[in-house]
Amino acid sequence: MKTSFRRGLATACAGVAALVALQAPAAAAPAITAATTIPINMQAQEKSNWCWDASGNTIAAWWGHSLTQTKFCQIAHNESGTDCANNQGYLSDQQRVFRWLGFSNVGTYSSSGQTLTFASIKSQVDARQPIGTRIGWRNGGGHMHVLYGYDNTNGATTVYYGDPWGSSPRYNQMSYSAYRSNNSFTWTHTVYGIKD
């Protein structure tokens, strides 16, 4: 009788263990993520002052337009020939090229430190619309980026940005608050709502 009881108990325990294993959450299950990125092909700037050009041309390419950086610069600065001057540019220069390409919306230009909220970045990325940004270096001068993603997993507020500078990584991420202002730079200007 004891043997029969032990076998029955062992069988019952094995059955309960199998049932628990089926119902227990898997430790190796992938975490639910809220990260979203636009698969841009971030260009490296071909000249030292062409961060505006490479960033704008990256956005144009995302929308299916194929221009060289020289041609992008020529359209923006009304130049012709086989080259274009290595001059600084503005987000408004990018808009000039988007207009020339026939975009339905060349974007809304926001300056004087009026940055987008994290919710607005999320909305733009969810709409598959890369954002053009200008940052001001703490030690002077400026630079252009392309915001192309966000991550709000577990309440995080991380932004993904493309950097055209030659020696910098093309694809980067930073907390939203740090991107707005950190020890190296401050986000100063934006073009958003860009749509072909």
- Partnered with residue 175 across adjacent β-strands are 158
Whether the per-residue pLDDT at 28 is higher than 50: the answer is no
* CA–CA distance, 195 with 107 (Å, rounded to integer): 7
Q: What is the pLDDT of residue 114?
A: 78
Q: How far separated are the first and last CA of the chain, in Å rounded?
A: 81
Q: What is the pLDDT of residue 33?
A: 55
Place of tokens 């619309």: 129
Assess contact for 162 and 176: CB atoms under 8 A: no
Instruction: Report pTM.
Output: 0.82
What CATH class has 38-190? Answer: alpha beta
> pLDDT digits over 103-148, tens only?
999 999 998 777 999 999 999 999 999 999 999 999 999 999 999 9
Q: Domain extents for the chain? A: 38-190
> pLDDT digits over 36-59, tens only?
999 999 999 999 999 999 999 999
Q: What is the pLDDT of residue 112?
A: 73
Average pLDDT, rounded, for the chain: 87
